[in-house]
Structure formats: C-alpha cells, structure tokens
Amino acid sequence: MLKVRENVNLAEYTSFGVGGPAKYFVEVESVEDLKEAVKFAKEKNLEFFILGGGTNVLVSDAGFSGLAVKMKLEKIEKLDENNFKVGAGTLLSRLVNFSAENFLKGLEWAAGIPGTIGGAVAGNAGTPEGEMKDSIKKIEFFDMEKFDVFNLDGAKCDFGYRTSYFKDKNNLIIMDVEISLEKGDEEEIKNKIEKNISARKEKQPQGRSAGSYFANPKVENESLISQFEKETGISCIDNRLPAGWLIERVDFKGRKIGGAEVSEKHANFILNIGGAKAQDFVILSSLIKQKVRDELGVQLKEEIRYIGF
C-alpha cells in the first residue's frame, strides 16, 4: 500500500533548501508504486511532479498544491560485461563510481555532477567531454496517459543540448535507463574522475545551489564570440557562450537579493547564503536576464525548473 504523506516540506528535498510544503508527497520504489501514485493524483485531480535529487528545482515559497513524487528507484543491475540497467532515482555519482569499479570508461566527465540518472537523462546532462546521450542504449518509461510502461531506443530520444524527448513532458516518467560503456584502463579512469572532481571544486562554489542556473545560450553576435575567445583563450563551440561569462560581463557577480547571491567564484551559480526565499531567486534571476538581454542582446534561459509558481 502506497504511503501518501501530507504537507511535507520540500525545502528539505532540494539543493537550494528553499520552498514550501507539498500538499501530498509519496516515495515510489516500483512501477506498481508509480501507478498507485498516478491513480491517486487523477482521482483528486492533482498536479503531479517528479522529484529526483532535487538539484535542478526551485519550489515556490507557497509550496506545491499537488502531488510530489520522490523517485526511489535506485538499482544498478548488471546485464553483461559492458551493459547495465540503472534506476531513475540512482545518484549520478553512484553510477560514476560503479563504472570505475568495473573498469568501464565513458562517464568520467560526470564526476562531481549532482542529481539522479532520471534528471540527467531528461536534461541530457553533459560537459565538453561528454553527455548522457553518448552512453544510452534504451530508456524504459511510464506513460501516464496510456497507463503503461514503454521502451525507447537511445537513438530515438531526440537528445540535444540540455534536452531530450522527455524534457518538459510531465506525462512521461523515466523509470530505468540501459547504459552501455567500454572497458578501459583502471588507472586512467580513476585519474580522469579525480581530475574532474578537483576541477569542479576549484572552479565552482560550495554551498546551497542548483549548479548552473542558466543554460549556455547560442549567440549570433560574432563580435561577442570574438571577445570571449580573445579574453579566455577558449574556442566557442556551436556558437554557445558560457552563461557565467555573460553574467560576469554585466557586472552581476556578488549581487544579492535577500538571501540569494550570485557567486563571486562562478557567476552562473546563485547561492542560498542563508535564509533565502524562493522569491529572492526569482527576482535576482529576472534581473540577470533583463541585464544580459538589454546590454548584450542575449536571452538567457533557466536550466532549473520552477515548481508551484
């Protein structure tokens, strides 16, 4: 029997540490649990959202008036030497460690990235070194409207920069992901993982945040691209400029609204420096978008999801 709790504080389940309560809250560990949760939501005509690691969501101060579903599918099942099935609620860090322990290469780029597999796949998490799409063979998902489980080959998932077939489709819920990796050298794999974790700690601020707040935008302004390349010595790939660099150019490092602050270390991180409200993040991010648009002609788009607004 599925246990439905009421008025559960969602701030405890998010990396921002802000937000009000969910009217209803459940934890699901199987397809059967999820079906019960969906039935419950439909019977009460409730909105429904999936909560993974809580690293890419901002919950309203008023909370969420529907059903919040915490994914607890945390298995890693080995299918053969190079292939395994991973539950959507499994932490990405656990999967990276598992691959290293089994001398499998291809996920070293993900070392140090927070969140769960479900969210990482839906948003095609990645770095210049790799993306989730590179390793995915198949995705098992639940269709709320058809009330059944289906499979989709990785090649048909419409993966793109921070997006996929599943992004923003609330009726499709990722359950399991089949991952395929290649055998590699143990020392080389571990060295890459350690190097990536060290680089993240050096470049990114510690504290309560959702990681990158904005996606890196595509820019058509050749002059701006040239300025970036000249200033950083880094080549612009696919005309995408780092959102942090753009925010820094409009002098928003260290800006604060209430308890929300743009990091001095990395301008695409907005931190809860203590006592922040969700509204502080909303106002500060709106000011950033307006400033970047007005001064640089670039429209920023959030990587995070807004819940209950």
What confidence tens digit (pLDDT) does each residue in 116-167 have?
Answer: 999 999 999 998 899 999 999 999 999 988 999 999 999 999 999 889 999 8
76-188 has which CATH code?
3.30.465.10
Query: How confident is the model at residue 35, as a pLDDT?
Result: 92
Query: How confident is the model at residue 230, as a pLDDT?
Result: 92
What is the average pLDDT across 240-247?
Answer: 96
User: What are the extents of the domains in the chain?
Assistant: 5-71, 76-188, 205-307
Distance CA 40, CA 27 (A): 13
The architecture (CATH level 2) of 205-307 comes to Alpha-Beta Complex (3.90)
* Token pair recorded at residue 188: 């080389």
Q: Report the topology of domain 5-71.
A: 3.30.43
Distance CA 16, CA 7 (A): 19
Length of the chain: 309
Where in the sequence numbering do the catalytic residues fall? 162, 212, 303
HSE (CB half, 13 Å, CA atoms) of 241?
A: 27
Per-residue pLDDT band at 107 (split at 50, 70, 90): very high
Q: What is the pTM of this model?
A: 0.89
With 0-12 / 13-18 / 19 or more C-beta atoms within 10 angstroms meaning exposed / middle / buried, residue 78 is exposed
Query: How confident is the model at residue 257, as a pLDDT?
Result: 97
List Cβ neighbours of 170 (8 Å cut-off, separation of 6 or more): 48, 49, 50, 144
